[in-house]
Amino acid sequence: MSTETMSRRERLLAALRGQEVDRIPWSPCLDGYFLGTRVDQITAFRQIRADAMVRHVLNFIGSVPMRITAPPPGKTLAFTIRQRRVGEETEVTYECPVGTLMERYKFNPESPNIPWTTRHRLQTIEDVKVLKWMCEKAEFAPVPGFFDPADKAVGDDGLATISALGTPIQWTINAETTLDKFWFLYADHPAEMEEYFEAVHQMNLRMFRAIAEGPGEVVIQYENLSSTLCSPRLWERYTLPCINEYADILHAAGKIFLQHNCGHLKAFGAAFRQARFDGCTDVAIPPTGSITLREARELWGPGKAITGGIDATAFSSLTPGQMKDYARNLLRDLKDRGRGYVLGSGDATPKTATWENLRAVSEVIEQEGRFPLRG
């Protein structure tokens, strides 16, 4: 029997706000890892009959210190970007009045849509000072024309979600240097690193203000947070205050603020209750993560929306019949009768996932996902 009485857009927005829904939403993270160039995100969501949360849409433009960047209208970049081929790699240099940074990357068959960095920009504390200068010069402006076509294309089948840069520590670890080098830089040069953190934070504040002025209802900050990367104590010291300032800006504009936290989260305990973001997306359970959806709800409280919860390896290793049993068990284990949940993939849907397994989850949700759940 059908459980459809809300549009997919209405259902997702209600779930993310902790409101009642007709059935539990189902929205795996479908991006370049799984899709490649086969179909676009919206087509993929429609093919598997899921609630579309279209990723990586922008409603702003900004001269962020990255190789793919553009200044707002009427502005110019404060630095010069040059690139050349070096064997199988692409080398990019950033020439600034205060110094030059260089990085190298390449594409490989395992990740044909996302580059693999072979040399990061931050190697020394002098590099950090150059990147700090670039962050200080970054400017932003809302551009509705970036967002509106994606929003129109998805329509009532779901949401176009706006992407935002990560907080200072997480962005730097994820994109700018290796994990060990980051923490050596912090240990050896704490004052300079804290000045750099503040420059990134101030850049992000300008970015979030531009996002707040533009269209769209849901913003996702791609943090990739994990206790394997950053300790809970340092997260509370450096990251939590930043998150709360971003949340206040977005909430004043009526937007929902989510964080893509796909790593080991259990060690953060109940600290997420102090954060004013509205929820975590693509939460990974063991073996790739460290927390279950039930544990996350118990620790983080009823005020945080939670999306994800399906073990990434299940999409590739189970049969469709086994996948249905897996999804049924997840539904039975949700707390609060399923309020505030969006069932989905733990992190991005893997490249080796099968379409049959994705449709299998859709079938279970359609047949057994009516809210409130009985479990």
The answer to whether position 139 is within a domain reads yes
CATH number of the domain that residue 313 is part of: 3.20.20.210
Task: Answer whether residue 186 shows pLDDT above 50.
Answer: yes
DSSP string, 210-266: HHHHSS-SEEEEE----TTTS-HHHIIIIIHHHHHHHHHHHHHTT-EEEEE--S--G
pLDDT of residue 256: 98
Q: Return d(Cα 185, Cα 197) in angstroms, integer.
A: 12
The answer to whether position 110 is within a domain reads no
- 93-135, pLDDT tens digit by residue? 999 999 999 999 998 877 777 889 999 999 999 999 999 999 9
Does the N-terminal peptide bond of residue 350 adopt cis geometry, omega within 30 degrees of 0? no
Residue 358, domain extent = 8-76+122-368
Q: Return d(Cα 310, Cα 361) in angstroms, integer.
A: 10
The answer to whether position 138 is within a domain reads yes
The answer to whether position 87 is within a domain reads no
pLDDT of residue 322: 98
> Using the 8-state DSSP alphabet, how is residue 71 labeled?
P
- Phi and psi angles of residue 315, each rounded to the nearest 5 degrees, phi first: -60, -25
Mean pLDDT within 362-369: 96
Q: Return d(Cα 315, Cα 326) in angstroms, integer.
A: 10
Tokens of 68: 């793919």
The answer to whether position 263 is within a domain reads yes
Residues of the chain with pLDDT > 90, as a percent, come to 92
The answer to whether position 83 is within a domain reads no
The answer to whether position 94 is within a domain reads no
- 281-315, pLDDT tens digit by residue? 999 999 999 999 999 999 999 999 999 999 989 99
> Using the 8-state DSSP alphabet, how is residue 174 labeled?
I
Task: Answer whether residue 206 shows pLDDT above 70.
Answer: yes
Local structure of 367: helix, strand or coil: helix
CB 343 within 8 A of CB 314: no
Tokens of 182: 């980051």
Task: Answer whether residue 54 shows pLDDT above 80.
Answer: yes
Q: Return d(Cα 347, Cα 284) in angstroms, integer.
A: 6
At which residue do the structure tokens 């997306």 appear? 281
Distances (CA, A) of 332 to 1, 108, 326, 365, 371: 19, 40, 10, 12, 12
Task: Answer whether residue 44 shows pLDDT above 80.
Answer: yes
Least confident of 32-36, 114-118, 211-215: 32-36
Task: Answer whether residue 336 shows pLDDT above 80.
Answer: yes
Least confident of 104-113, 152-161, 257-266, 303-312: 104-113
Mean pLDDT within 64-85: 94
Q: How many domains does the chain have?
A: 1
Query: What's the chain's average pLDDT?
Result: 95
End-to-end CA distance of the chain: 19
- The CB density around residue 329, as the number of other CB atoms within 10 Å, is 11
The answer to whether position 349 is within a domain reads yes
∠ CA 268-273-279, nearest 5°, is 90
Q: How confident is the model at residue 1 (pLDDT cuts 50, 70, 90)?
A: very low
How many residues are present in the chain? 375
Q: Cite the DSSP H helix spans in the chain.
A: 8-16, 32-35, 41-48, 125-137, 144-154, 168-171, 179-188, 190-213, 232-234, 240-252, 293-300, 314-317, 320-333, 355-368
**pTM confidence score:** 0.96
How many Cα neighbours within 13 Å face the side chain of 32?
9
- The CB density around residue 39, as the number of other CB atoms within 10 Å, is 13
Mean pLDDT within 147-157: 98
Q: Return d(Cα 23, Cα 12) in angstroms, integer.
A: 10
Mean pLDDT within 18-28: 97
Task: Answer whether residue 375 shows pLDDT above 50.
Answer: yes
- 218-244, pLDDT tens digit by residue? 999 999 999 999 999 999 999 999 999
